[in-house]
């Protein structure tokens, strides 16, 4: 068996089995999970996601909307109205990762 010597990310089985989730949604989720790392959050933009995964920005926007609606991620706008970057949280994770995410959300809203 070959070992992978590069970073990787997981996709929850529930997300894979969800009939309303398309392949592009999985790719966007995977990228967000990868970028979020252990912290469960990442500050970035839709154009950056689109370029990294080879999708059109409109497809990334649609996937983010679906992932938000289904509760797999949350997005918090940062900065000014015209900001092109957001703070993304990956919610569909293991219990311990979810607890760390919840702690970040509480500290973000407390400030």
According to the model, what pLDDT value does residue 66 have? Answer: 96
According to the model, what pLDDT value does residue 14 have? Answer: 86
According to the model, what pLDDT value does residue 83 have? Answer: 62
The 3-class secondary structure across the chain, one letter per residue, is CCCCCCCCCCCCHHHHHCCCCCHHHHHHHHHHHHHHHHHCEEEEEHHHHHHHHCCCHHHHHHHHHHHHHHCCEEEEECCCCCCCEEEEEECCCCHHHHHHHHHHHHHHHHC
According to the model, what pLDDT value does residue 111 have? Answer: 46
According to the model, what pLDDT value does residue 102 have? Answer: 59
Over the stretch 59-80, which tens digit does the pLDDT of each residue have?
999 999 999 999 899 998 876 6
Q: Average pLDDT by consecutive 10-residue portion of the chain (111 residues)?
A: 71 89 95 88 93 97 95 83 80 59 53 46
Nearby residues of 26 by Cβ (< 8 Å), 6 or more positions away: 11, 15, 16
According to the model, what pLDDT value does residue 13 have? Answer: 86
According to the model, what pLDDT value does residue 50 have? Answer: 97
The rounded percent of the chain whose pLDDT value lies above 90 is 49
Nearby residues of 100 by Cβ (< 8 Å), 6 or more positions away: 38, 39, 40
């Amino acid at each position: 068996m070959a070992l992978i010597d590069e970073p990787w990310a997981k996709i929850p089985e529930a997300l894979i089995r969800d009939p309303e989730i398309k392949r592009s949604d999985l790719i966007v989720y995977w990228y967000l999970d990868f970028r979020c790392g252990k912290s469960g959050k990442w500050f970035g933009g839709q154009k950056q996601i689109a370029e990294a995964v080879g999708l059109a920005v409109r497809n990334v926007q649609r996937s983010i909307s679906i992932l938000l609606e289904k509760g797999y991620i949350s997005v918090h706008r940062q900065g000014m109205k015209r900001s092109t970057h957001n703070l993304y949280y990956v919610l569909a994770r293991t219990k311990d990762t979810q607890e760390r995410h919840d702690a970040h959300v509480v500290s973000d809203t407390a400030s």
